[in-house]
Structure 1
Amino acid sequence: MQERHDVDVRRSSDRMTTRTDWLDSRHSFSYGPHYDPSNTHFGLLMVNNEDRLGPGAGFDMHAHKDMEIVTWVLSGSLAHEDSEGHRGVIGPGLAQRMSAGTGIRHSERNGAELQGVHYVQMWVLPGPDDVAPGYAQHDVSAPLEAGDPVVVASGMARHAADRAIPIAQRNAALHAVRLRPGAVSTLPDAPMAHLFVPRGTVDLEGAGALYTGDSARVSGSDGQRVTAGADGAEILVWEMDASLG
C-alpha cells in the first residue's frame, strides 16, 4: 500500500472537560464555553463528546438547529423525547439519529434511576438544503456482536443499501466495529476519516497504539489497518468526503 495519508493523533488526556455533580463530559472539539480556534472541527464532524450521566440525571428540554446528531451508547440507557412527538430509549447496540433541521427541542436523560449511562454523541452539519426535524433508531446489535463492521448512519449513496439509519449529509458516514482481541478492521478509503476509541486499545497502522478515549484524524485515509489489543476494542469511524475548510 502506498502511503498518502496524514495522521493527527489526539490523546484522551488532551480533551476539554465539563464536570458537574451529575455530568462528566469530554470534548474532542471546541464545545460550549471550551473554545480553541484551532480545534473547532475535522471534516464535517463538529462534536465528538463522550458523556457520563449519573442515575436519573440528564438534559431537560433544549433547542437545536441545523445539525445531524448521532448518539452511541456504551453502557446503560438513554431516554429521548422531543417537540416533534418522538420518544425512544436506547442502549448498547441501538443506533440513534436526531435531525435538528429547521429547529427542534429535545430532552435526553439517563433511562435508569440506579445506574449511570455512558455514551458518545457526535454532530455533523447537514447538507445545504433545509431539513425537516426528525428522529430514528435502529438495532444493530447482531452484526456488532458478530464483530462485523456496521454502517451506523450515512447519507452517502454508496451506503444506501447497508446503512442502519440515514442522515441528511451526503458526504459523511459513521461506522462502528466491536473488535475481539487481535481482530483487524480497516479505515475507509476516503479524503478524511476520524477514528475514536471509546473503549479498549488498538494499533493504527503507521501511527501506533491508541488507547481508550484517544482519536486519530486521518487525511487521505486509504485502508489503514486497525488491530485490537489483548482485551479487544470498540471503535467509531467517521468517513467523510468533504470538509468545512
Structure 2
Amino acid sequence: MRVMDVRRAGERYPGGDPEAGIESWHAFSFGPHYDPGNLRFGAVIACNEERLAPGAGFGEHPHSHTEIVTWVVEGELTHRDSTGHETRVRPGDVQRLSSAAGVRHVERNDGSSPLTFIQMWLAPRDPGGVPSYEIIPGIADSTPYAVPKSGAMLHVRRLAAGERTAVPDAAHVYVHMVRGEIALAGETLGPGDSARLTHPEGLEAVGETPAELLMWEMGA
C-alpha cells in the first residue's frame, strides 16, 4: 500500500553559523537537533541545504561509513579531501564522496557569488572499505546515477510546466524539491519540500511550474 509523508521546507531544522556566512537547513535529525523519530528514510540519513556566502565554508572535518552525494543549486563549490582530490562542483554536476573507513574534506565557496548546494548522506549496506570519489559533470536530465554501496539510485528531473515524470517503482522513494513546484498525489511541493514514499507504484509527478527535483530510488 502506498504511503506518502510530506515534509515542508519550513519544518526543517536550522543550523550552520550565520555570522560566518553559513546557513544550513536539515531535513533529518542532525547535530543538536536530535529527533529519534526522524533519523532516516530508506538509506537516506541526511538531506541538508547549505548556503555559503562568498569566502565562507566548512574547514577540514572527518566522515566515515557514509555515501555523500552533492548537488549544487547555484554558485560553485570547492572540494578538497584527504585522498588528494581537489575539484570545483558546478550546477548540474553530481559529486559523490564515499567516506568508507574514514576520510577528511574541506568544502568552501571560493567564488564571488553566493553558493547553495544540497548534500545528501546515505548509509552503506556494509561499513568500512576504501574511500573513493567521483564527479559527473553536467549530468543529463533523467539520467540515473547509481550509489551501489547504499543500494540506491538518484534520478534528476527538470520538468517544464505540465510535463510529467514517473516516480520510480521501489520500496522507498525520497523526493526533494530543488526549485519550482510539482503536483504529487494531490499535494503541491515547492522549493525545499520533500516527500517520503513507500511503494509508490503507478505514481507521477507533474510540473505545475518549471521545476527541478531529486528522487532517490531505494530497495527495502
What band does the TM-score fall into relative to the shorter chain?
A: over 0.9
Gaps of 5+ in 1: 156-167
Contact 1:64–1:105 at 8 Å: present in 2 too?
Answer: yes
Is residue 37 from structure 1 mapped to residue 36 from structure 2 by the alignment? yes
Which of residues 129, 154, 160 is equivalent to 1:180?
A: 160
Report the CA distance between 1:14 and its aligned residue.
Answer: 0.7
Q: Residues of 2 paired with 1:153 and 1:229: CA distance?
A: 28
Q: In the alignment, does 2:121 pair up with 1:150?
A: no
User: Equivalent of 1:210, from 185, 189, 205?
Assistant: 189
TM-score (norm 1): 0.86
Distance in 1 (CA, whole Å) between partners of 2:56 and 2:145 is: 26
The C-alpha deviation readout for 1:217-240, integer Å capped at 9, x for no partner, is 00112131101113x100001111
Aligned residue number for residue 237 of structure 1: 215
Looking at structure 1, the residues matched to 215 and 30 of structure 2 have their Cα atoms a distance apart, in angstroms, of 20
Which letter does structure 1 place at the counterpart of 2:124?
A: P
- Post-superposition CA distance 1:110-138 (Å, at most 9, x none): 130x2111110000011215321111101
Give the CA deviation at 1:153: 3.5
* Cα distance in 2 for residues equivalent to 1:125 and 1:24: 24
Deviation at 1:186, TM superposition (A): 1.2
Runs of 4+ in 1 over 6 A off after TM superposition: none
- Distance (Å, rounded) in 2 between the aligned partners of 1:209 and 1:49: 21
- Structure 1 residues 58 and 77 mapped into 2: Cα distance closer, same or farther (>3 Å)? same
Deviates more, 1:172-181 or 1:187-196: 172-181
Matches within 5 A, 1:64-143: 64-112=63-111, 114-128=112-126, 130-141=128-139, 143=140
Q: Structure 1 residues 153 and 72 mapped into 2: Cα distance closer, same or farther (>3 Å)? A: farther
Contact 2:69-2:120 within 8 A present in 1 as well = yes
Cα distance in 2 for residues equivalent to 1:70 and 1:192: 18
Task: Assess if the C-alpha contact under 8 Å between 1:175 and 1:237 holds in 2.
Answer: yes
Find the residue that maps to 1:190 and give its secondary structure.
Answer: coil
Q: Deviations over 1:131-160 (max 9, x none)?
A: 21111101234x23xxxx1213332xxxxx
The alignment-based identity, stated in percent, is: 39
**Which secondary structure does the structure 2 equivalent of 1:13 belong to?**
helix
RMSD, matched Cα:
1.2
Matches within 5 A, 1:210-229: 210-229=189-208
Aligned partner letter, 2:3: D
Aligned length, in residue pairs:
218
Q: Deviations over 1:56-94 (max 9, x none)?
A: 110011100000000000110001101110111111111
- TM-score (structure 2 length as normaliser): 0.95
- Confirm whether residue 52 of structure 1 aligns to residue 30 of structure 2: no
Contiguous gaps of at least 5 residues in structure 2: none
User: Does residue 195 in structure 1 map to residue 184 in structure 2?
Assistant: no
